Amino acid sequence: MTRVGIVAVGQSKFGELWEHSLRDLAVDAGNAVFKDLDTQTKGNITKKNIEGLFVGNMGAGSMAKQSHLGSLVSDYVGITGVPAVRCEGACSSGALAFRHAFHTIKSGEMDVAMVLGIEKMTDIDSNHVLNALMEAGDFEWESLAGLTFTGLYALMARRHMKEFGTTRNQLSLISVNNHKNGVKNPYAQFRGEITIEDVEKSTLIADPLRTLDCSPITDGAASVIIASEEFIKKNKLDNVAWILSSSAATDRIGFFNRRSIVELDATKLAVKRVIEKDRVNMKNIGVTEVHDCFSINELVALEDLGFCEKGKGGKFIEQGEIKLDGQIPTNTTGGLKSIGHPVGATGVRQLIDITKQIRGDSLNQLKNVNQGLALNIGGIGTTSVIHVLGKD
């Protein structure tokens, strides 16, 4: 089967975009990715080459009163006529859409496909947003009992603290690092640095998680265009991020029913497949984007991916290993915490940032990055999707 590579990337601004509708966001991301496509291919490839569209979105029907996004997006980005489908997997919807597009090209069905992740969240009140997001959890057994995702992740954090001695200070360092990385990001919702004191004095949401431990409610869209190796070679494209691995796994939906609440089995299963099936050597990963919807999730992700031992995530972070000059630079342009979290778009945005590191044009460019990993999570680790990108 053919190899597949990312040939163009683009995104809208992320934030509380009151003046933007859902379709405006799609147009912004579409225009951005087509502009990059023109630059990367010197005008030789255009939207006319796109054979399929895969839209990642969680809650447009609930939050924007708009379903049938395949048709809406294809219409407004100007590629009507091609097969277009919406993919949903809670906050991992964007990465799942990308994974479907990847396998469609790998099978030989298409040569070029567009993936666009999108969410419009700020046109409704926050209680409505929280209720819509909790549809990604066990609504009958947990949400109706009053649990929110903040509450569920707070349980994870408390248990991690009890079992491994993880400290409040170590959690705060995650948010501090991500905000620092987002300062130069023109697409980010929040571009100011914060301190440990800022985090620990921010409003308590669900003990121990405070406002600055939590990703914000965000509008935004992100898009990539991917193509088969044959198409890439035929058109002599040389600035490509190759997809070295695509893996996903799913856990039980109820957090109460999990084997453990301090590790996410779906992530551990997905990365196991990356290593065993796709023969990825994790020691070659030079940069990672992990799903920091809450600070504890980034810490647990680093452990479950194998970058540090279980229970040692707090020390790993405290030692500066996730900084731009650390062992595994993480969320190098700000992560969900600084950039924002339009849930259907996040997984695609992560892939954009890894692609730019591979291409050498990231706003916080690292040296000698040959491979990068993106982990997009839906629910409370219910769905984990991992992609590894590389130069060859």
Q: How far apart are CA 158 and CA 123, in angstroms?
A: 33
Residue 301: HSE in the Cβ half-sphere, 13 Å Cα cutoff: 30
Q: Which two tokens stand for residue 355?
A: 């692609």
Q: Which of 160, 179, 291, 341 is catalytic?
A: 341
Helix (H, G, I), strand (E, B) or coil at 340: coil
Q: Is 20 a catalytic residue?
A: no
- What does R_g of the chain's alpha carbons equal in angstroms? 19
Long-range own/partner contacts, residues 140-144 (CB < 8 A, 24 or more apart): 141/254, 141/256, 142/254, 142/255, 142/256
Q: How far apart are CA 332 and CA 96, in angstroms?
A: 22
Q: What are the helix (H) ranges across 42-68? A: 60-63
Is the bond into 216 cis (omega within 30 degrees of 0)? no
What 3 state SS string does 272-290 have? HHHHHCCCCCHHHCCEEEC
What residues pair up with 383 in beta bridges, in sequence order? 250, 378
Q: Is 214 a catalytic residue?
A: no
Q: How far apart are CA 226 and CA 237, in angstroms?
A: 12
- Could you identify the residue written with the tokens 């603290």? 161
| Cβ-contact 304, 268 below 8 angstroms | yes
Candidates 140, 135, 385; CA nearest to 274 is: 385
| Cβ-contact 275, 282 below 8 angstroms | yes
Q: Which of 91, 214, 293, 308 is catalytic?
A: 91
Helix/strand/coil percent split, the chain, to 5: 40, 20, 40
DSSP code at position 322: T
Cα–Cα distance list, 262 to 30, 175, 379 (Å)? 39, 19, 15
Q: Which two tokens stand for residue 57?
A: 């979105």
The amino acid at residue 266 is A
How do 287-289 and 371-378 pair as beta strands? parallel
Helix (H, G, I), strand (E, B) or coil at 389: strand
Give catalytic residue positions: 91, 341
